[in-house]
A = this chain, B = another copy of it.
Amino acid sequence: MVRVGLTPQRLARAGAELADEVGFDQVTVSALARRFGVKVASLYSHVRSSHDLKTRIALFALEELADRVADAVAGRAGKDALAAFAAAYRDYAREHPGRYDAARFRLDPETAAAGAGVRHSQMTRAILRAYDIGEPDQTHAVRMLGGVFHGFISLERAGGFAHTPVDTQESWAWMVDSLDVLLRNRTTHPPSDEAPPAPGRPATSG
């Protein structure tokens, strides 16, 4: 009876690796026990349930992703930061598809609030600092950026773009460009020498 040294943290990390290999929805307590060479019941000393295990994997992935994004945007600002921010998300999804799915696991609100979700929105706000967007527009922009990157990646991975010959990377770059322009046009105090608001800017917000 050799002790393997299971902990909730190790289970979450191993679960993340398993998710990358076989898909997040194929991650089960049984499969994880097999991977550690222990009996299924042993894992229930460390996680409360299958749902608890998935939650831990999700939190692990969110944390890891936040670290990556933080690294990517460090020392950058403006469009440069926006592009690095976007690339960090997309690269993570490509390198770790299972973990990315895990990061999208539906968490109950208080669990989500306690996790790295807050870091993600703070980093998004940091990106927006260069664009000088006041509230409540800043919050709107945070939500849009979160949505647009996640949504694009999600649809891309679901094969939703496969039927058209246009390169996905080009679409991504086009989108980042467009968002940069959009955000510059939402600036609360536009600089006089560059990027004044577009004439078409609606008057509904701000």
**A contacts, CB < 8 Å to B:** 104, 106-109, 112-113, 117-118, 121, 135-137, 139-140, 142-144, 146-164, 166, 168, 170-171, 173-175, 177-178, 180-182, 184-186, 194-196, 198-202, 204-205
Distance of A112 from chain B, by nearest CB (Å): 6
Are A147 and B148 neighbours in the complex by a CB distance under 8 Å? yes
Are A107 and B204 neighbours in the complex by a CB distance under 8 Å? no
B residues within 8 A CB of A177?
Answer: 202, 204-205
For the complex of A and B, list the 3 residue pairs with the smallest distance between their C-beta atoms, beginning with the closest. Answer: A151-B151, A147-B152, A147-B151
Other-chain contact of A170, B140, B149, B153, B182 (Cβ < 8 Å) = B140
Are A155 and B160 neighbours in the complex by a CB distance under 8 Å? no
Compute how far the CA of A171 lies from the CA of B199 in the bound complex, rounded to whole angstroms: 21
Are A204 and B159 neighbours in the complex by a CB distance under 8 Å? no
17 residue pairs A–B, Cβ–Cβ below 8 Å: A104-B158, A109-B162, A112-B159, A113-B162, A118-B163, A121-B164, A136-B170, A139-B164, A139-B171, A140-B166, A140-B170, A146-B160, A147-B175, A150-B155, A173-B205, A174-B204, A178-B182
